[in-house]
A and B are shown apart, each in its own frame.
Chain A
Amino acid sequence: AQSVTQLGSHVSVSEGALVLLRCNYSSSVPPYLFWYVQYPNQGLQLLLKYTSAATLVKGINGFEAEFKKSETSFHLTKPSAHMSDAAEYFCAVTLYNNNDMRFGAGTRLTVKP
């Protein structure tokens, strides 16, 4: 079965600093990978997704992620953090024609002024 592991339950950065949230996946077949963001008391919103078209994926709000098969990673980055980026971030994985999306444990991002 497919799964993802997020390294670091909490990441704290200063406003304007680089954001790096780590995600590693496990899958016996090529996976589809996603990053979602969740603000308090809200549902999840898609930031970006990888579906094998391109290894570098650009998403909303200036985020991007790179799929590295050799490292089984799909880390999320943003060059310059903004206060509004403070939220919970989830990496998720599914397989082709599979309704079973699995989420990582989540990483809480804190942005300091």
Chain B
Amino acid sequence: DTEVTQTPKHLVMGMTNKKSLKCEQHMGHRAMYWYKQKAKKPPELMFVYSYEKLSINESVPSRFSPECPNSSLLNLHLHALQPEDSALYLCASSPSAGGTNEKLFFGSGTQLSVL
């Protein structure tokens, strides 16, 4: 299994809703990532987990809350989002927690729309 699986593929939510994005990999990778990608823009790093511990938080607003329950799963909890948070949210993993000189494996993303 060489895939990173993200669910759901599409999500529409109101500004008062609470929802979660899920990401799963079974490649034994020790680092997992959340990226945000606005239309026609490059992915922007949000969070990095290394060995299930948060190692990078790129000053993301607290309405985004990551969680890494185990080495295969990564969640992104969403609460009180704004319309400008609408974007494609990409999960990725890499074999080594020590660095991304190895490649990132990306999921297909969750297209989020905030109304």
Chain A interface (Cβ < 8 Å from any Cβ of B): 32, 34, 36, 41-46, 49, 51, 90, 94-106
Contacts and interface: CB of A to CB of B under 8 A. Distances in A.
Given A43-B4, A44-B90, A103-B42, A96 B101 contact: yes
B99 A94 contact: yes
Interface residues of B, number: 29
Contacts of B19: none
A34 B92 CA distance: 15
A100 B97 CA distance: 11
B104 A101 contact: yes
A88 to B, nearest CB: 8
B65 interface: no
A104 B55 contact: no
Contacts of B83: none
A45 B107 CA distance: 9
